[in-house]
Structure 1
Amino acid sequence: MSIYKKILGSQFNKLHPKLQKRYAFSNGAPFIAKGTMKKIQRGPKILYPIFLLGTKCKLLFPEHGTNIPFTITNTPLIGPNGEEQIHWERTFYFGKKKRYFNALMSFDSKRNLIKDYLGEPSPLYSDLAFIVSSTGDLKIESRKQRLVLGKVEIPLPKIFQGLATVTEKYCEEKDVIQISVDVRNPLIGLIFAYEGEFNLDDME
């Protein structure tokens, strides 16, 4: 059973069937898709050094724009302690330049949430909550976050957090999954955001 079935329980069956297929990982094979980001935004220029540093750990990047091609690959893995993991690789193509927004997720059964280590190597950890809407869409919200310094993890006060809201929904008319990601800080406001869609050819 995938970590997403575990976190959602009976709610998993309320997802749109295409989203169920996307998150089931029933045969253990990676999910691979490609699409276009209609818009990629970043926060104020004062954050530019952080975005540039983020390229070193495949987390953030300074580029932004419209109609950016991208690919997404979700790969099931087994971690060192035997827990099921899902590796997320999101690659954005700015001309010949590739940028990444990667993560490694696993299921915390004691706290009933998804653990999300962002970047490679990961400088940031976030608890994730998964919610299914009445229309079968999937909403993901980040909760408590920690700064990761090697084996040491330091809880971050909310004032220093970048809280993310992710929505995925299936569009019948276009036969695509539409995705939006919005990351904000209580003081600065927008840090990073994108919205786009990817086709389902590799799911059939």
Structure 2
Amino acid sequence: MTSMFERALGADFARLHPQLQRRFGVSVSGGQACVGTGVMEQIWHAGFTRPFLALGGTRNILVPEQGRQVPFTIENYPYVDSYGRETVTFVRTFDLPGRPRRFDATMVYDPARGIVDYLGSHQHLAVDLSFQVDECGGLVIRSEGFRFHEGRLSCRLPKAVTGTAVVRESYDDDAEEFRVGVTVSHPRLGPMFGYWGAFRARYVDVTEQGVPAVVRPRREEARL
């Protein structure tokens, strides 16, 4: 079975840099996870976002602190969740002074919506994603719509309160490392949050070592 990212990109998957094809080719049938370690050159946010980031930080959504040259880990483990959906974790850990911070996400593939990204430790936020391969073989991911699920409450969130996230990932052949940049912007207020840096990846045999419980969400949400 092809990876969910290959299904989402279709023929364009072959245009990705070969290292990105391997990284985003992780799948349950492939039996491998991708674990990256490196340094975020900068983590930043606009001042007015601090209260919202602090709230999100309680559920591992975004990062309320700022920093430079921050050690960083990203863990992409494929597994089948309790609803029978193939899932890939995107657990990012920032080793900030005094307190490590996590930004958790789990992606699932839905035939109607494509890839849906659940944010946080409890999957309260579901985000539709679009994928595009740039002219250099890099991958560009954009958020297209946010939905909030909590108990009986389930609703779509307007862009006026969420903004748009853009992730750009590429591979530097000279440095032999992945480059990543994330920016969250509001249509009226401008840039709100972001980080950029580089990391190197290793591939882990999931069939032998399994999926660490710590990278799975504490609660899984059935609603897309």
The residue identity in structure 2 corresponding to 1:37 is M
Which range moves more in the overlay, 147-156 or 32-41? Answer: 147-156
Question: Structure 1 residues 168 and 151 mapped into 2: Cα distance closer, same or farther (>3 Å)?
Answer: farther
1:25-44 aligned within 5 A: 25=26, 27-44=30-47
Aligned mate of 2:66, from 61, 64, 67 = 64
**What's the counterpart of residue 108 of structure 2?**
106
Structure 2: runs of 5 or more not aligned = 205-224
Structure 1 segments, 4+ long, off by >4 Å, are: none
Q: CA deviation at 1:141?
A: 0.5
SS in 2 for 1:187: coil
Aligned to 2:83: 81
Residue 43 of structure 1: CA displacement? 1.8
Flag structure 1 segments of 5+ consecutive residues without an equivalent: none
- 1:105-162 CA-partner distances (Å, limit 9, x unpaired): 0112123x21011111133221000111122110000001112223532111121123
What is the correspondence of 1:31-180 to structure 2 with a 5 Å cutoff? Answer: 31-44=34-47, 46-111=48-113, 113-180=114-181
Please tell me the residue identity of whatever aligns with 1:167. Answer: R
Q: Which letter does structure 1 place at the counterpart of 2:118?
A: Y
TM-score after normalising by structure 2: 0.85
- Aligned partners of 1:145, 1:171: CA distance in 2, in Å? 32
Task: Please give the secondary structure, in 2, of the residue aligned with 1:131.
Answer: strand
Separation (CA, whole Å) in 2 of partners of 1:203 and 1:76 = 12
AA aligned opposite 2:52: I
In structure 1, what residue type is equivalent to 2:45? R
Q: Are positions 1:195 and 2:202 aligned together?
A: no
> Given that residues 57 and 122 in structure 1 are in contact (C-alpha distance below 8 angstroms), is that contact kept between their aligned partners in structure 2?
no
For 2:134 and 2:152, the matched residues in 1 are separated by 36
* Separation of aligned partners in 1, 2:78 and 2:152: 23
Corresponding residue SS for 2:77: strand
User: What's 1:7 paired with?
Assistant: 8
Question: 1:17 and 1:82 mapped to 2: Cα distance?
Answer: 30
**C-alpha displacement at 1:25, in angstroms?**
1.4
Could you list the per-position Cα deviations for residues 54-78 of structure 1 after superposition, in whole angstroms to 9, with x for gaps in the alignment?
2210012221121111000011010
Find the aligned partners of 1:98 and 1:76 in 2 and give their Cα distance.
24
Provide the alpha-carbon RMSD of the alignment: 1.6
Partner Cα distance (2:51, 2:124) in 1: 15
Secondary structure at 1:182 match in 2: strand
Fraction of identical pairs, as percent? 35
Partner SS state of residue 90, structure 2: strand
Query: SS at the partner of 2:131?
Result: strand
